[in-house]
Structure 1
Amino acid sequence: MIKLTRLKSGDHDFVLNADLIETIEETPDTVISLTSGKKIIVEESMDEVVRRVMDYRRALMRNLR
């Protein structure tokens, strides 16, 4: 799970299941497409979303050891 902020929602954070992400695009807003077909526009850059997903997956791998 990663914490993100919806675009133009102020400080309204939400948590997204990173396993549901299909694609991430910058158009110039960051658009996350989910496996369900839903699209979410977030304030974070594409690189920041990717970094958070990688950090999340590393944390999972550390817990499996």
Structure 2
Amino acid sequence: MTDIGGFQDRVARVDLSEGDVRYEGIDTEDARKYIGARGLGVKYVFEQGPDVDPLGPDNLLAFMNGP
């Protein structure tokens, strides 16, 4: 979908509580705006908001690979 090299155009979201894996596409605009996994990872964590319990099941743990 993106014409930016190095992307697989998707993110795996793993729910450890439920043992579920979902794959979501990476928005082309986000791929260009955040340039790489580090930027996208920060975006995803930031979207969780400041009120998420750091030790709770709704907290996001991100492993991002790439530039």
Structure 1 length as normaliser, TM-score? 0.33
Whichever structure has more strand as a proportion of its residues is 1
Q: Kindly indicate which of the two structures has a greater share of residues assigned to helix.
A: 1
Relative to the length of structure 2, the TM-score reads 0.33
Q: Which one has the largest radius of gyration?
A: 2
